[in-house]
Amino acid sequence: MIFCIHDFDPKLKKKGAFEIQKTEIKKYNNIGYGIYHTANLYNGTRQNKNIKKINYWLADMDDGTKVEMLDNIFNLPLLPSVVVETKKGYHCYWRALDADKDNYRKIAEGIIKKLNADKACKDPCRLLRYPNTYHFKNPKEPFKVTILLQNDKIYTEKKMRCVFEIQEAFLKPKINNFNKKDFTDPAKWERIFKMSNIGDGNRNAKLVQYLFWLRDEGLTNDEIAYVINGINEALSEPLGNDELFTMLRSKNIIYKT
């Protein structure tokens, strides 16, 4: 869906957004209207309850310098599928392979935290500026909104949640009489980590839980990566290397293959 909001005339701007056809983009943009679109599919009015399909997870960045913002974007474990440059910053889009609208906000909040993005951009119906149109808030200095990056990356919700969803505080397992050296001894892992009880349903959460526990115990990044990788390899249904790498990197642990 494509919408217009006037960029600089207060009276026209007060009327808010209205829907236009794609063939009308140039006509309205030429008379000072900002052109916006919704990346996700909905039926009826533009409300979260009417969302039918999540095509993208979104972020709106406009705080800090553009150099700082780009540095944050390109240091993410999951690079956006599309990055659009706006006058003050960037819009990021992660293309969804599958996504439940009920989990959208949790992932969006994690993206916001990692990118220091606009905290209001938490709903899938968010209006973002349409690429290759002009921003006319200063009509004497129009800014062309352009696509800075576009690739074929597409992400599952599971991977997005692993990287971006803000984890609840993890409780340490109630295990006593272990010292730091015990954690790096594979012979003791079953007794400490109860690996036989880890399955596909709780695998990600348990590995992240143990990661934080090991960090609290003072293990180095290399030691944590060694232990988590070893536990994962011992599971009947281990995470793939790419997914494990993503999980570790999202917690600032460098995974060395």
pLDDT, one tens digit per residue, over 51-101 is: 999 999 999 999 999 999 999 999 888 999 999 999 999 999 999 998 988
Per-residue pLDDT, averaged over 198-224, amounts to: 81
Rounded Cα–Cα distance for residues 89 and 70 (Å): 9
Q: Is 143 helix (H, G, I), strand (E, B) or coil?
A: strand
The residues spanned by each domain of the chain are: 2-164, 180-250
> According to the model, what pLDDT value does residue 257 have?
45
Distance CA 101, CA 111 (A): 16
Q: What pLDDT is stored for residue 252 in this prediction?
A: 67
Alpha helices for the chain (secondary structure H): 10-14, 25-29, 66-74, 104-115, 157-164, 180-183, 189-193, 203-216, 221-234, 241-250
Q: How does the average pLDDT of the chain come out, rounded?
A: 88
pLDDT at 170: 45
Token duo for residue 197: 């009880």
pLDDT value at residue 29 = 97
CATH 3.30.70.360 fits 2-164, yes or no: no
- The predicted pLDDT at position 164 comes to 87
Vertex 43 angle, CA 37 and 47, to 5°:
65
* pLDDT score recorded for residue 161: 87
Place of tokens 């290759």: 132
Burial (CB count within 10 angstroms: exposed 0-12, middle 13-18, buried 19+), residue 111: buried
- Residue 231, CB-side half-sphere exposure with 13 Å CA sphere: 29
Cβ–Cβ under 8 Å, residues 163 and 155:
no
Percent of the chain with pLDDT over 90: 57
pLDDT higher than threshold 80 for residue 109: yes
